[in-house]
């Protein structure tokens, strides 16, 4: 999947990936895609939960070498 912006959260644990995502998403234009890369597996549940609460769209999660690539489409 092609992202407009990438946020590297490898090595970070809760709540940092979510806190950083909430800040980073503000830098995107509506409809753009943010790719969050994290290696804490909590992200698999947390990012869809964050999306469901904030209204942004979780397009999917790809797992690769123990890293999770989460694609979030900014609402609007």
Partner 1 sequence: MNEGSDKATIVVFSGELDRALAAFNIATTAASMGMEVTMFFTFWGLNVITKERVEAGEKNALQKMMGLMNRGGARRLKLSRLNMLGGGKAAMKMLMREYRMPSLEEMIPMAKELGVRFLACTTSMALMGLGESDFISEVDDFVGAATYVEKAAGSKINLFI
Long-range pairs of 15-21 with CB within 8 A, sequence gap ≥ 24: 17/43, 17/46, 17/47, 18/46, 18/47, 18/50, 21/47, 21/50, 21/72
> Quick check: 54 binds partner 1 (CB under 8 A)?
yes
Nearer to partner 1, 3 or 51 (CB): 51
- Asked if 4 contacts 28 with a C-beta cutoff of 8 angstroms, the reply is yes
44 binds partner 1 (CB under 8 A): no
Could you confirm whether 14 is annotated as catalytic?
yes
User: Taking CB under 8 A as the rule, does residue 28 contact partner 1?
Assistant: no
Least distance (Å) between residue 2 CB and partner 1:
25
User: Can you give the binding site for partner 1, defined by CB under 8 A?
Assistant: 11-16, 18-19, 21-22, 49-50, 53-55
Catalytic residues: 14
């Amino acid at each position: 999947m092609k992202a407009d912006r990438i946020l590297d959260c490898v090595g970070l644990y809760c709540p940092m990936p979510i806190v950083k995502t909430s800040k980073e998403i503000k830098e995107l234009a509506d409809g753009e895609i943010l790719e969050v890369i994290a290696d804490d597996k909590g992200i698999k549940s947390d990012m869809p939960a964050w999306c469901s609460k904030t209204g942004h769209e979780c397009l999917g999660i790809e797992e690769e070498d123990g890293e999770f690539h989460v694609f979030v489409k900014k609402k609007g």
